[in-house]
Amino acid sequence: MSIPLLDLQAQYNLIKDEIELAVLDVLRSGQYILGPKVEKFEKAVAEYCNVDYAVGVANGTDALVLTLDAMGIGPGDEVITSPFTFFATTESISRLGATPVFVDIDPQTYNLATDKIEARITSKTKAIIPVHIFGQPAEMDTINDIAARHSIKVIEDACQAIGADYRGRKVGSLGNAACFSFFPSKNLSGAGDGGIVVTGDKDLANRIRLLRQHGSPKKYYHSLIGYNSRLDALQAAILSVKLRYIDNWNSARREKAQYYNKLFEGTEIVTPKELDHVKHVYHLYIIKVPNRADVESALKGNGIGCGVYYPVPLHLQDVYGGLGYQEGDLPVSEATSHETLAIPLYPELGVEDMEKIADIVKEAIED
């Protein structure tokens, strides 16, 4: 029997009656774009993250783009971020004509190495985008202190980390704004694309609301050049149901991650490092192994899903060749890209399946 990296059907089957009722309610309402379902979900997410405002948008990438745009970031500006993340983080910066500036990562958490940030700040730096990679919050107190000293903005890329805590505070409440994705693989997932921006800044929230709908404060009147980036009512209804379960699902992920950690004790396998002052939500369970290709082959050969996140760090992507980075410039990110592998982890994953996965990984390491 195969074991997928993520089993979306298992989650759906547990709450299918609630999901289907929510979808039917939207279909029968005739209100499919924005409207009361989206407003209700925005309010619930804002309360969950302990912030004042939330603005639903079409996807996590747009959440980043609209936030940067609303902050006035554009050509000639620089934004500091991680090279070890999904391309959307820097694509959003580049889409607005600004320049991503890469800082290497911490070898244990894979988040931004905070001791390397300040050296990369220039007069052109307008923001820092820390990525809470794989579900573990970045070191936000240090990042915020650096940003405050240099009068620059902090935008949390929390697309993989909804529900995570940093020193008792929810991600989403730790910077000037935060961006979430509801892509189907995320811990809180839609049945398609979706995203949201949360912030405590009323003016910023209002500007993002304008931008998401063609810069239009009312129909056919336009005060900004905007976008078409609205969260659908169908997605909002589905996500509203799932939001009620997210803490339980994240707790199950944490329990399973801890069990994996025990299964891999005493081996060469490096398991995720969770800092004492954070609550990691394990969007992905990432192991570091000396012979990744062999482990990947062994897992796939036994019908077990796995994935490489990320095979090429962003500073070495072809599209950023003009920025002048060379192999060796950000050695931790480069080594991590060659050595890490995601193995199955989701709330419904069974203990016997986890033990089977661990045995195959350990055998592959020993061969």
Check: CB of residue 129 under 8 Å from CB of residue 159: no
Domain range summary for the chain, segments of one domain joined by +? 8-102+110-243, 246-366
Mean pLDDT of 107-129: 98
Handedness of CA 221, 226, 228, 232 (dihedral sign): negative
Q: List, for residues 38-69, the tens digit of each pLDDT value.
A: 999 999 999 999 999 999 999 999 999 999 99
Q: How many CB atoms lie within 10 A of CB 74?
A: 13
Contact 109, 130 (CB under 8 A): no
> b/e map of 35-44 (b: 16 or more CB within 10 Å)?
bebbeebbeb
Task: Give the 3-state DSSP-derived string for 178-245, with helices as H, strands as E and coil as C.
Answer: EEEECCCCCCCCCCCCCEEEEECCHHHHHHHHHHHECCCCECCECCCCCCECCCEHHHHHHHHHHHCC
**Whole-angstrom Cα distance, residue 344 to residue 342?**
7
- Find the mean pLDDT for residues 6-34: 96
Please write the tens of the pLDDT for every residue from 265-319: 999 999 999 999 999 999 999 999 999 999 999 999 999 999 999 999 999 999 9
**Mean pLDDT across the chain:** 97
Q: What is the pLDDT of residue 93?
A: 98
> What pLDDT does 366 receive?
84
Return the CATH number of 8-102+110-243, one of 3.40.640.10, 3.40.50.10950, 3.40.50.1100, 3.50.4.10.
Answer: 3.40.640.10
Q: What percent of the chain has pLDDT over 70?
A: 99
CATH class of 246-366: alpha beta
Over residues 155-201, the pLDDT tens digits come to: 999 999 999 999 999 999 999 999 999 999 999 999 999 999 999 99
Residue 56 phi, psi dihedral angles, 5° rounding: -75, 135
- With contact defined as beta carbons under 8 Å apart, do 43 and 66 qualify? no
Tokens coding 250 = 């994240």
Closest C-alpha to 299, from 241, 225, 353: 353
Q: What is the pLDDT of residue 54?
A: 98
What is the predicted pLDDT for the residue at 336?
98
pTM: 0.96
Same CATH fold assignment for domains 8-102+110-243 and 246-366: no
pLDDT above 90: residue 367: no
CA–CA gap between residue 229 and residue 25 (Å, rounded): 23
